[in-house]
Amino acid sequence: MGSKISGKDLISLGFPKNNSINIALGYISRYKKREKKDHVLLELKSVASMPDKYLSDPIWGKVAESLAKPVEVKMHTLKRERVPFEIFGENEIEDAAKYQLYEALKLPVSVQGALMPDGHAGYGLPIGGVLATDNAVIPYGVGVDIGCRMSLSIFDLPASYFVGREDELINILIDNTKFGMKETHKIKADHSVLDRNEFLEIPLLRGLLDKAYKQLGTSGGGNHFVEFGVVDVHQALPEWKLNPGSYFAVLSHGGSRGLGANIAKHYTTLAMKQCPLPRQVQHLAWLDMNTHDGMEYWAAMNLAGDYAAACHEDIHRRIGKALGRRTLVNISNSHNLAWKEMVNGQECIVHRKGATPASINTPGIIPGSMTEPGFIVIGKGNANSIQSASHGAGRRFSRAECKSQFTQHEIKKRLKTAGVSLIGGSIDEAPMAYKDINTVMSLQSELVTVLGKFIPKIVRMDKA
């Protein structure tokens, strides 16, 4: 069996006595342990003799790279000076988040940074952090919930559709949305994203296809939600074919589920092994975009982003079918992803970890809390924010602080005052946990133009 192959076997095939042996043994253990030893050795002999031929091979590419162009693993040091940056709403942001950005700005690969007014501390980059890098992608600069996004569907229904239908609408949400680790739809949906070649070509993803199929159209825990509400459109874009006015709408927030979490974990581990950094910035380890792992992460990350979009599409399709009404317009955006963009004339990898893309005339959604409005916006393309804006109100209190400071009674009182019905939810996501969204929006008036508001009425979240 492949698992019985030793380092001596590889040396006899022509492998040099370096890290290429450890890399090969790791791949054999992970992907070839059920195959016959002779067959695996025959493949490895070919890789050892012609590594350039295998550089793009999904299984042996990393091994071939270690043979053809070995990379020296060395401790990276931070630069003394920070690259250019801007903080929006600095007085509303905790020091821990600012310090995280300051450290990220000293990375050898950093080009420019920014912090949005909803910023707060996270792992690696702060939440609300934006970082442009030179030919390097930071898995924790994207985050664990790859592709987490907002999606707003405005229906061909008036705002008055809520009157007398609260119980009916609550049941529609319960029947057509699933949350957390255990809930899945009884009738599974299919989607073209599940047919993508990446699920066959990238070894890690082969084992995640079944999970992705089962979790399609579901939402995670924490602050993920699906809400019914009223949209007040102040100014409509011509391509929307929508008149200003008040409409019935559904807003969802969620990401790539177990698929994205596994991708983030796997490639963060690889990055931290290949790119040692001082302890305080170890979660900012990067993958070179010219390497096998860098290119593979980029493909897997974009697949997870498209899968997250597919989950939202399925949620909105199910709800639209239950309502029996068509969607007039859908507005959506990711806020946990990396993009290739031009920054001051240089192509960079722009990481947005909890930040909304806000290039000129790009539409997006910035939610508040379950009792506060969300905002429909278009970007102004501000270069100082790296064409970004906040992804929400941002947390004022951590989940642990919520449990010690707030009670269910306070939450129910706040919901009643706001006229909001809550299905599920937990004290961790208390409305009081978040900053004032109106304050946050006032601090980014130079980043986005507001086109309308979403007022939540019925909110569905994971169970407490």
Q: Show the domains of the chain with their CATH numbers.
A: 2-68 (no CATH), 149-255+287-296+303-332+356-461 (3.90.1860.10)
Comparing 19 with 115, which gets the higher pLDDT?
115
pLDDT category of residue 3 using cuts at 50, 70 and 90 = low
Residue 148, pLDDT score: 98
Distance CA 420, CA 459 (A): 7
Q: Does pLDDT of 17 surpass 90?
A: no
Q: Does pLDDT of 183 surpass 50?
A: yes
Distance CA 155, CA 327 (A): 4
In terms of Cα–Cα distance, which of 116, 126, 177, 182 is closest to 151? 177
Least reliable range by pLDDT among 204-208, 231-235, 247-251, 397-401: 397-401
- Cα angle vertex 413, ends 391, 176, to 5°? 55
Residue 75, pLDDT score: 87
Strongest mean pLDDT among 67-71, 350-354, 423-427: 350-354
Phi, psi of 63 (to 5 degrees): -65, -45
In terms of Cα–Cα distance, which of 114, 110, 93 is closest to 357? 114
Least reliable range by pLDDT among 1-10, 178-187, 261-270: 1-10
Q: Which helix (H) or strand (E) holds 411?
A: helix 408-418
What is the chain's Cα-based Rg? Answer: 24
Query: Tens of pLDDT along 231-261?
Result: 999 998 888 989 999 999 999 999 999 999 9
What secondary structure does DSSP assign to 290-353, as a single string? TSHHHHHHHHHHHHHHHHHHHHHHHHHHHHHHHHT--EEEEEEEESEEEEEEEETTEEEEEEEE
Q: Does pLDDT of 2 surpass 80?
A: no
Average pLDDT (415-426) is 96
Average pLDDT (194-203) is 95
Which residues 6+ apart lie within 8 Å of 102 measured at CB? 82
Residue 464, pLDDT score: 62
Q: Which helix (H) or strand (E) holds 287?
A: strand 287-288
Query: Tens of pLDDT along 111-150?
Result: 999 999 999 999 889 999 999 999 999 999 999 999 999 9
Least reliable range by pLDDT among 35-49, 69-83, 154-168, 393-407: 69-83
The mean pLDDT value of the chain amounts to 95
Output DSSP code: residue 90: G
Distance CA 231, CA 149 (A): 18
In three-state secondary structure terms, 226 is strand
Average pLDDT (316-342) is 97
Q: Which two tokens stand for residue 225?
A: 């939600």
Residue 59, pLDDT score: 87
Q: Does pLDDT of 1 surpass 70?
A: no
- CA distances to 16, 21, 35, 48, 69 from 12, rounded to whole Å, are 9, 11, 20, 10, 20
Residue 74, pLDDT score: 81
